[in-house]
A and B are shown apart, each in its own frame.
Chain A
Amino acid sequence: MAVSDYPGRMILVGFFVQKQEAGTVSQRDQFSQELFDKFNDHILAACSQAMPPVAPSPRVRASLAVMAQNAPGGSNAVKARRAVQAYLTFRGF
């Protein structure tokens, strides 16, 4: 199982949005791994389908995962795709 490479600062933002507190390091590490497991593959898949394809950095993927965590959707794939669409719009695609 791949280990999360999301930067801590973005994970702090996501953790704080959800729980309104910083949490402990182990809590944030677990949160980071959960977001990575839920969304990373879907984020990469959605980015690869963009025209032109996008290769997001760990920082961008982390921010997309935080966005996906707070997006509506019936599945993790839908949430991740919604986040990537917002990012691509932001990038002017």
Chain B
Amino acid sequence: MAMCRRPICVAILVLIECALWRPAWAQSALSTEFFRDRPLYEPLLAEPRPARTMLLVPGWSEEFPDSVKEGSRFAWQISLGDELPILTLSNQQSAGVMEKGRWGVGLWIPVSFHVIEDFKDDSAPIVDTDYRFGFMAKFQCGCFENMRLGLRFVPWAHESTHLGDEYTIEAVKDPGFERVNVSYEYWEYGISLEGGGLFNAEDNWTIRHGGLRPWSSDGYYSNHLLGSDVPTLTPSMKNYEPSFGVEYRMREWRGRQTYVSFDVRDKLIYNYHQTTDSPEERQWSWNIQVGRAVPMGTTGTPLKQYFVQVYHGVNPYGQLRSQQDYWSVGLGWVFGL
């Protein structure tokens, strides 16, 4: 538990330090705003579980562990969500990213739903739905001449995952099928450096590092099957999930910026029955997007991005995270206000 608290303390101290820091020339009033958004730490476009509204259709996917029909399949993915702004505090009055010498900090409530539906098996079953919500503090400062530092800290969040009923009806025909309760609370941090002018005066780049860890020593899932109180499952142990990401947006052309965004994270392959011969393992799981996005500050254009996405690694959905070398690919569409 002490290990879990250390990053929280560091994050809080950094936030306080940055909030108190004020250069002599920046004689500015604090702007406190409720329920207004500020772009302090926007999710990386290739982040696999962002709180945003995204469709991946048409999409294709690797066969799932309990699929009836063999082989890859047409499977679309839907994410619905948003980061709900609660309170922001900044020494910058004007909207937008933090300029040099300015900082902003705030509290958000991220809420999101993530669904994947299989169109190959009979009745086109919803395979899995994951729900996430929590509390999130974000910070950004124009601490450097042409670069911004951003921090994201989620002190508490919850993820609840649910296999689809039609998928489960078919899966239970296999005597070896187990319905695992993947549900946990976690904390998460992120560090971001953002800037522009890498190859020309109008491009944008982002470098990210983050990490996630469940609060409970039980890990990511219950040690008993759903509908049973008997502990038959071995808890997850290698629970820390580090991530890294990079993103590059080119010069705007015809109202959008072509971009490439890449996220990689060392994900745990859930092993519900660990033994010395079959220990827990991890797999670096990566997600890449290449597409076109509206520039920051665009309003009145609901379609924010369209892109090609390729994912490879641990299946990101619920108890299917026991599946390694999973892949999915598709055309993505992000909508927003």
List chain A positions with a Cβ less than 8 A from chain B: 1, 15, 18-19, 23-24, 26-27, 30-31, 34-35, 37-38, 69-75, 77-79
Contacts and interface: CB of A to CB of B under 8 A. Distances in A.
A73 B249 CA distance: 11
B252 interface: yes
A69 B96 contact: yes
B297 A30 contact: no
A18 B94 contact: yes
B99 A73 contact: no
A38 B203 contact: no
Q: Which of A70, A71, A75 has the most CB of B within 10 A?
A: A75
Nearest to B36: A19
A46 to B, nearest CB: 13
Interface in B1-44: 25, 28-29, 31, 33
Contacts of B166: none
A34 B99 contact: yes
B95 interface: yes
A38 B252 CA distance: 19
Given A34-B92, A34-B99, A74 B28 contact: no
B29 A75 contact: no
SS class, residues of chain A in contact with chain B: helix
A61 to B, nearest CB: 16
B295 A38 contact: no
B217 interface: no
B93 A73 contact: no
Given A1-B25, A34-B99, A38-B99, A75 B93 contact: no
A31 B94 contact: yes
23 contacts: A1-B25, A15-B93, A18-B95, A27-B31, A31-B93, A34-B102, A35-B94, A37-B99, A38-B94, A69-B94, A69-B95, A71-B297, A72-B298, A73-B295, A73-B296, A74-B202, A74-B249, A74-B252, A74-B296, A75-B201, A77-B202, A78-B252, A79-B297
B204 interface: yes
Nearest to A38: B99
Nearest to B293: A74
Contacts of A19: 33
B35 to A, nearest CB: 12
B141 to A, nearest CB: 15
Query: Which 5 A-B pairs have CB atoms at the shortest separation, nearest pair first?
Result: A72-B298, A31-B93, A72-B295, A34-B94, A72-B297
A31 B102 CA distance: 12
B168 interface: no
